[in-house]
Structure 1
Amino acid sequence: MRFFIDGAWAEPSTGRTQNQVEAATGEIIGVAALGSEADIDAAVKAARRALDDGPWGRSTAAERAVTLRKFAEALERRAEDTSVLVSRENGMPIGLSQMLNGGAPAALLRIYADVIENLLLEEVRPSQAGSTIVRREPVGVVGAIAPWNFPQALAMFKIAPALAAGCTVVLKPSPETALDSYMFADAAREAGLPEGVLNIVLGDRDAGAALVSHPLVDKIAFTGSTEAGRIIGAECGRLIRRSTLELGGKSAAVFLEDGSIETFLSGLDNASFLNNSQTCTTQSRILIARSRYEEVVDAVANFADSYKLGNPLDPSVTMGPMATERHLDRVLGHIGIAKNSNARLVTGGSRPAELEQGWFIQPTVFADVDNNDRLAREEVFGPVMALIPFENDEDAIRIANDSNYGLGGSVWSADEDRALSVARRVRTGTIGLNYYTLDLGAPFGGFKDSGIGRELGPEGINAYLEYKSIYGSSRYLSA
């Protein structure tokens, strides 16, 4: 496989490759080239030329909006193939993949086409000496580093606002989902994106490090682990380079004593088990009012047992495998640690005997978890729930906030005003009242170790714009 650089397919600078393995079968479904520092350098230089010398750097907001909508249409024509490919790569159930890998990228492009058309990019203000022209300009060349769990959607979290703002992009996808990102390249060519505006180089950590440190890159947009985010943030700090970091989570679902079990179970899939729980907002700490504790424990265990495991391309399957064998081993390691604690294993805890191929794990529930246990402190990134009792609302808020993370969360109560009162005091970037569903029209990001900056919503474009003040005469006030 080649890379997409400067509007054309480019041969890799080395012969390094890797096999892409299907998560549900363990079988090879493709071979991908891995980029080197030289490939990243070529892509960044192409992006720089497109910004400084090409038509994109001189384009108007209206012109970019037209191109973004054409890009959306081109992606939609590939949506079904893209959805299937991602499900094969990372085990995502096909229905979810159709929404988030097939539909969401096009929706995001249209959202940011609308945003940039309606955003005031230049205004004139009176000043003591005459006037000041305040401009919003593109931040420059963006290095976008996307993860494997929602590869199409999370890449477009970065690409759409960056392109709308007038930036150019070098995308480094995750090697765990090595094949699907090139759908972007095909669609970009069809849509008529100028050469160098979007470049794609698959690579491992060395390629990512080369992108983060490249002297011609102006901003890094990263989604991934907190551990990797610390390294990237430190390098961006050293280089005085802008960065947006969307990192890990250990979010809490808070079930108050007046909560509805029926409502809770109807929302639990999105809140805690979405994408086989390979989701940064997974609410894997389930905090339960003491008076309802055993009732809710049993309900969550029964809900976990109700999942149908199997090939994610089967529409009747509700939970697919872990994305890779290495990740499966990591999840099993967390389960082993929890089994050796004082927590009580209620259901699951091992690989399903009936699925010999692929990287499957039983949905697993531990009760009586202490919030200081590793299972309650560390992100598992798999379907392993830690159930924790609390005494009252104040205790629930204390436990929810006793975490290094703050990305997602939910509060479940028959009294929505009461739930809102609790939600306002939980230190997290997003939180739902009796449901949890991400809103593409509202800012998304985390507190504490869950990251820096916000994506999505009209606010998401701000990270790709710089302010410039031009001091002029008063004649501009009447222009």
Structure 2
Amino acid sequence: MQNYINGRWQVTTGTSEIELVNPCNEKVLMRYITASTQDVDDAVFAAHQALNSWSTSKPIERAHWLNKIADQLELAKSKLIELSHLNNGKSSEQARVDVENSIQCYRYYADLVQKTAFSQITQCEDGTELIHLKNSVGVVALITPWNFPLITSAWKIAPALAAGCTLIFKPSELVPLPEYEFTKILDEIQFPQGVFNLILGDTTAAQHLVNHVDVNKVSFTGSTEVGIHVMQAAARSVKRVTLELGGKSPILILHDADLDEAVDKALGGMFYNSGQMCSATSRLLVHQSIADRFYQKFKSAVESMSLGADLVGPSSMGPITTLKQFHKVHEYLTIARNEKLQSLIDLNQIHLPKLGFFIKPHVFIDVPTNSRLWKEEIFGPVICCRTFANEEEAIKLANDSDFGLAATIITGSVEHGKTIAKRLRSGHIWINSFQMIQPNSLWGGFKKSGIGRELGESGLNSYLEENIITI
């Protein structure tokens, strides 16, 4: 595989090799050489050279290209789904959702950029004229993780292009195949040279990109630990940053909740994508008056789950995407045994495939709040549960976390749920809902879950700088 720089495919000058593995069967898909720091320099230079023409282009022109990308993604949907399944381990069903959501995102920003006022004139009473301008932030570095290829990149690429930014895109080195195919699409439609550049690099390339003096903004999605390093590096040159980091999200099941609905939302919020979601509702809080009945239904549902390579439905689960993450989740399961945490389910009821990075779903109840499993992001199919006596206790437990990315409330009264939602320190809150994220909504977290917001108008504004001319 090659980097894509200044509208051309270029052989990497790096020396490090990456092995891509199909997590469903552990077979090697391919090996490739990762980008060097020189490749990064070339990509940044290309983006810098293309900035003036792209940033001064008309919004309708940028909207045209965004819609053209969406059109081509529609045509390539089957290929993108296949690559996501092979490289990431997602089921074809979940990969299809990712592709369709990414298409919606490009179309949303194509529409929004045409409605955005990039220049506004205000006449003051004293005769002064104010010209309020919104400008591209400049050259941006976009770095995405391996858990949601195509969609996490769309959340960055679409608003960055709409805002008039030129960019260097570094996807996960472990799951680059869907994004590589995406880049082929841009090449086929002859996307303007230098505006979009792809770097297939590892940590070394990412660090060089973040430190680069000619990069004006970094948008990073990944772990909190790495996000801290990104923020520190960006501070040296006062780069703008958007950080979408870790989570340890709660799901609150109130006393008047419909139990079947609560089970469905708990299953989806935790075990979708095998729990590899920064928004995974991995801390479950259930009112003590319904806890026994909920646990009984939840136990049956989890024990009925099927593990496999490409299964369909909410009661199925695929593999962990990488071997490193597979081992990390098992380290937490070892901690659970050492802490003597109480398992709700009988793991013998769940069949484990012979090959692949599969991990059975785990449910622990009455987990102490000082347990590492309660406090730390696991990024796998492990959920910790506690009961609460009243809503004050539930809200306190929900907010008692270093993270604040998302939360879910299950209640018999939506109005009551809204009242509780206003007291939760979380960036995105669902009430009686699966984790749907609309392109015109908002994404980002409080506390150690990140800085800034993606999606919606906030996502576009994060790639703009404002200034004013006074006459």
Separation in 2 of the partners of 1:42 and 1:327?
32
Identify the residue that residue 115 of structure 2 maps to in structure 1.
118
- The corresponding residue for 2:103 is 106
Q: Quickly say closer, same or farther: Cα 1:351–1:258, change in 2 above 3 A.
A: closer
Matched ranges for 1:315-334 at <5 A? 315=312, 318-334=316-332
1:258-337 equivalence runs, <5 A: 258-312=256-310, 314-315=311-312, 318-337=316-335
Aligned 8 A contact 1:297 1:387 in 2: no
Partners of 2:22 and 2:275 lie apart in 1 by 18
> Which stretch has the larger CA shift, 38-47 or 73-82?
73-82
Structural mapping, 1:16-415, within 5 Å: 16-52=16-52, 55-100=53-98, 102-127=99-124, 128=126, 130-312=128-310, 314-315=311-312, 318-347=316-345, 354-415=352-413
| CA positional deviation for 1:83 | 1.2
Q: Distance in 2 between matches of 1:459 and 1:354?
A: 43
Superposed CA deviations along residues 271-315 of structure 1, whole A, max 9, x for unmatched, are: 222211101100010001111122222222222222211112x44
1 CA distance for matches of 2:345 and 2:333? 11
SS in 1 for 2:150: helix
Deviation at 1:143, TM superposition (A): 0.0
1:158 maps to a residue whose letter is K
1:445 alignment partner in structure 2: 444
Letter in 1 for 2:432: N
**Cα distance between partner residues in 1 of 2:466 and 2:201:** 33
SS state at 2:235 partner:
helix
Q: Is the 8 A contact 1:445 1:452 kept in 2?
A: yes
Contact 2:55 2:163 in 1 (8 A): no
Alignment of 1:435-474 (within 5 A): 435-436=433-434, 437-472=436-471
* 1:231 CA displacement: 0.6
Higher mean Cα deviation, 149-158 or 173-182?
173-182
Q: Partners in 2 of 1:348 and 1:205 — Cα distance?
A: 40
Alpha-carbon deviations, 1:158-205, whole Å to 9, x = none?
Answer: 000000011011000111203221122111123332101110011111
Asked if 1 retains the 8 angstrom alpha-carbon contact of 2:329 and 2:380, the reply is: yes
CA shift for structure 1 position 348: 6.0
Please give the TM-score of this superposition, normalised by the length of structure 2.
Answer: 0.96
Cα distance change of structure 1 residues 441 and 146 upon mapping to structure 2, 3 Å threshold? same
Taking a change above 3 Å as real, the CA distance of residues 203 and 349 of structure 1, as seen in their structure-2 partners, is farther
One-letter identity of the residue aligned with 1:440:
P
Q: Decide whether the 8 Å contact of 2:308 with 2:319 is kept in 1.
A: yes
Q: Deviations over 1:413-470 (max 9, x none)?
A: 1122222211111100011111132222111110000000000112210000011212
Deviations 1:331-377 (A, max 9, x none): 01111111222420122669976422110000110011112211110
Query: Whole-Å Cα distance in 1 between the matches of residues 254 and 295 of structure 2?
Result: 13
How far, CA to CA, are the matches of 1:354 and 1:371 in structure 2?
A: 30
Name the CA distance, whole Å, in 2 between partners of 1:28 and 1:256.
46
Q: Given the superposition, is the C-alpha separation of residues 354 and 363 from structure 1 closer, same or farther in structure 2, using an over 3 Å criterion?
A: closer
Unaligned runs of 5+ in 1: 473-479
Cα distance in 1 for partners of 2:445, 2:36 equals 31
1-structure distance, mates of 2:300, 2:30: 38
